[in-house]
Amino acid sequence: MKKKYFLTILIFSSILINCSKDKDPILSDENKIISFDLSFNGETYIGQINQLSKTINIETIGLELTSSIIPEISISANATISPSLSVGQDFKQEVQYTVTAENGNKAIYRIVVDNTILSDENKINSFDLSFNGETYIGQINQLSKTINIETIGLELTSSIIPEISISANATISPSLSVAQDFKQEVQYTVTAENGNKAIYRIIVDNTILLSNEKKILNYSFEYDNKVYEGIIDHDALTIDVETDFGVIGAAFSITISEGATYTFSPGGYQNFHLPITYTVTAEDGTSNDYVMTPKICQFNPRNLSFYSNANPIIGGFNIDLTVPNSALVLENETHSYILDYSDYSVEPSTAVVGVDGTFRLLFPENIVSASDYKLRYKVNNVIKAEADRNLDILAENIPIITSSNQDVYKRGETMILSGSNLVSSLLVDAYNGSDYVYFPPYLSVNNEQTELTFPMTINPAMFPSYAGISENYPTRVFIYYNGREGDSIIVDFD
C-alpha cells in the first residue's frame, strides 16, 4: 500500500511542474523599422532601409523649408521606438532611432537624408524683340524688375514672340512660345525652383512712329499727249476718270502718300475699261482701298471712209444720246454738222462701266467732201468722246441704189441692183454677223453704171437656210468700193 501512495505523489508533482512552465511566456526579439517616410510640402519621400547596416537613406528636395517634421514610421509588433513617433525632428542633420524588442533587445537606426536644395533664382537674364528684320535688346533693371526696349515700327505688328533667357530651373509665365502685343505694357512672372516669384514689367518705347498716311494724291491717264485727271473722293475712297478714248493703250500716273505702297486688283495687269481697286498701305501697315472707276466715252466705227449717202452703223461706249443737250457732231477746222441718226439702241455694257450704244448716221445732203472730219459726242457743247481717227466723206459722183430686181433672194439666184454711178463692189451684212465683200469677176456693172449684176452662186453661208434657219432674214447690201461705204438697200435672204 505504501508503494501505491508514493506513485500517486510523483504523478501529481509532475503535473504541477508542467503547469508552472506554461505560465512563463516567450518574449519577441523583433526590433526592426519596417518603413520610414517623410512628408512635407505635399510630397512623400520613402526611406530605403538597409536592415544589415541599420541605415535608412532618404532623398528629399527642399527640406530646408521646415525644421521639424514628424516622420511616418512602422516598427515590429510589440516593439517600442525612441524618440517617440509623435515628436518632430530636424532632418537637416543625422537623426537616430532606437527600436527595442519585447525581450529588451535594441537596434539603433541611422536616418541619412540627402536633401537637394532648391534654387531661389528667378531672374530674366536677357529679353529681345525681333520683327521687321531687326532685333531690339531689352535693358534689364533687376532692382525695379523693369525691362526697357526702344523700337522702331512696332505698330506694324501686334503679335511678337520675344526671345527670353531666365535663371536655371526657373519657369516663366506667360509661356515663352506665346506671342504678345507689346504696343501695351506686358508682364512676365518668373518662378524660382523653390517657388519664389518675380514679376517683370516690359516697357516698350517705340521711338519712331511710322506714318499712317495712305492716300492717293493724284491719279491720271495720259494718251496722245492729253492728260485725263481723276476726281478723287478721299471720304468715299473713289476715283472717277472720264475719257474720250479707249484707254487700253494709255499710260497712267499715280501719286500716293510718302512712304506708302500700293497694289491693285484684279491682278496681273490693269484693265482700264473696268473698275480697279488700289490698296494703299501706309508705313504703319494700315490701308485704304480706293476704287478707280473709268467712264469711257468712245466711238467704235467699223469703217472710216464713206460716200455722203452712206448710212453707217456706229458703235460706242457711253454714247448716250438720251442725255439732255447731247449731240453727234461731225466737224473739221472749216465745217461743222450736227448729225441725225436712226436705229439707236443702248444696253448695259459688259466691257466697260456704263452702256453700249449703236446707231446709224445720216450725213446731211449739203456736206462738203473732206478727209479730216472728227466724229464727236458732245454734251452741252463739251466734247465727251471723239473717234480716234478721221472720217473721210466723199460727196461728189456718189453711187445711188434705187431698186432691186427681187425682194427675196435664194441661193443661186441673181441680184440686179438699179441706180446711178454704180460701182463694181458690194458688201453683204449677213445674218450670221459676217460681212462678205464681192468684186469682179463675182459681179459686174454695165457701161452706163445704172445696173449692177450679182450672181449669188459662190457663197451659200450668207443665206440663213444654209444653217437650217427657215425664216427669211432682212439683209443689208452696201455699196463698198475701195474701202468706202456707200448707199444700201435691204432685201430678204432665204
Write out the DSSP string of 243-312.
ESS-GGG-EEEEEE-TT-EEEEES-SS--TTS-EEEEEE-TTS-EEEEEEEEEE-EEEES--EEETT---
Domain 33-116 has what CATH class? Answer: mainly beta
CA–CA separation, 375 and 222 (whole Å):
21
CA–CA separation, 494 and 490 (whole Å):
13
Q: Which of 241, 276, 248, 273 is nearest to 262 (CA)?
A: 276
Beta bridge partners of 38: 45
- Residue boundaries of the structural domains of the chain: 33-116, 124-208, 216-290, 298-394, 400-493
Cell numbers linked to 174: 506667360
Judge: domain 400-493, CATH 2.60.40.10. Answer: yes
Residue 243 is which amino acid?
Answer: T
- CB contact at 8 A, 349 and 398: no
What CATH number does the domain located at 298-394 have?
Answer: 2.60.40
Per-residue pLDDT of the chain (494 residues; tens, 9 = 90+): 444 444 444 444 444 445 445 566 899 999 999 999 998 878 899 999 999 999 999 988 776 656 688 999 999 999 999 999 999 898 888 899 999 999 999 999 999 988 878 889 999 999 999 998 899 999 999 999 999 999 988 877 889 999 999 999 999 999 999 999 998 899 999 999 889 999 999 999 988 778 899 999 999 988 778 888 999 999 999 999 988 776 666 788 999 999 999 999 986 666 778 889 999 999 888 999 999 998 888 898 888 999 999 999 999 999 999 999 999 999 999 999 999 999 999 899 888 888 898 999 999 999 999 999 999 999 999 999 999 899 999 999 999 999 999 999 999 999 999 999 999 999 999 999 999 999 999 999 999 999 999 999 999 999 999 999 999 999 999 999 999 999 999 999 99
Q: Do domains 33-116 and 124-208 have the same CATH topology?
A: yes
- Nearby residues of 103 by Cβ (< 8 Å), 6 or more positions away: 27, 28, 29
| Distance, CA of 118 to chain centre | 50
- Nearby residues of 168 by Cβ (< 8 Å), 6 or more positions away: 119, 121
- Nearby residues of 108 by Cβ (< 8 Å), 6 or more positions away: 54, 96, 97, 98, 99
Determine the pLDDT at residue 102: 93
pTM exceeding 0.85: no
What CATH number does the domain located at 124-208 have?
Answer: 2.60.40.2340
Q: Is 437 helix (H, G, I), strand (E, B) or coil?
A: strand
Euclidean distance between the first and the last CA atom of the chain, given in angstroms as a whole number: 173
Q: Is 24 helix (H, G, I), strand (E, B) or coil?
A: coil
Residue 360 is which amino acid?
Answer: R
The contacts found for 300-303 with CB under 8 angstroms, 24 or more apart, are 301/375, 301/387, 301/391, 303/483, 303/485
Using alpha carbons only, what angle is made at residue 274 by residues 271 and 275, rounded to the nearest 5 degrees? 105
